[in-house]
Amino acid sequence: MNTSHYYTEIVKELSRAADLISDQEAEKLVDEILKAKKIFVAGAGRSGLMGKSFAMRMMHMGLDSYVIGETVTPNLTEDDLIIFGSGSGETKSLISMAEKAKSIGGKVIAVTIFPDSTLGKLADVCVKLPGSPKDQSENDYKTIQPMGSLFEQTLLLFFDAVILRFMERKGLDTDTMFGRHANLE
């Protein structure tokens, strides 16, 4: 198989994945973002990178968004929201953060393959995304891609779709967002 064929297969998998995402769960996520004073994102590995891109777009929308672990991240308070991206929902460091956020009174959202995971059960809102965990032997969802690639790609596209929905609800356009884009380069 050549590279373009693999690309086509990946796009097909992503298209099938989109049909399995709950609009009701996604709308709850948007509602929580609208209510929050500050929004934090966290994830490990590639899921964390997808979260970083989400935080950047939220900043472009004028929201106070932060990535857990960065040196400029402020404290979380009871008026804030933390969004976790985790395929398994069992990443120990993320579970610890979620427990701490809950103890402070912050809202917790999990975006995961497994809503019944530890992280999913801790969450105030849980969004189920299709995909396979890194160890694909533990899941019936089939993908040609290695490890958690399908989840991570779906997470990125889901977060971009959430941005579009937020823009629609707030009456924002790309020109407004571009005005907040870094211009020191």
Catalytic residue among 78, 99, 152, 168: 152
Q: Active-site residue 152, yes or no? A: yes
Name the one residue in this structure whose structure tokens are 């932060």: 66
- The structure tokens 């500050």 sit at 38
Phi, psi for residue 107 in degrees, rounded to 5? -85, 140
Strand partners, 41: 67, 83
SS3 85: strand
Cα Rg of the chain, angstroms: 16
Interatomic CA distance for residues 102 and 115, integer angstroms: 17
User: What are the catalytic residues?
Assistant: 152
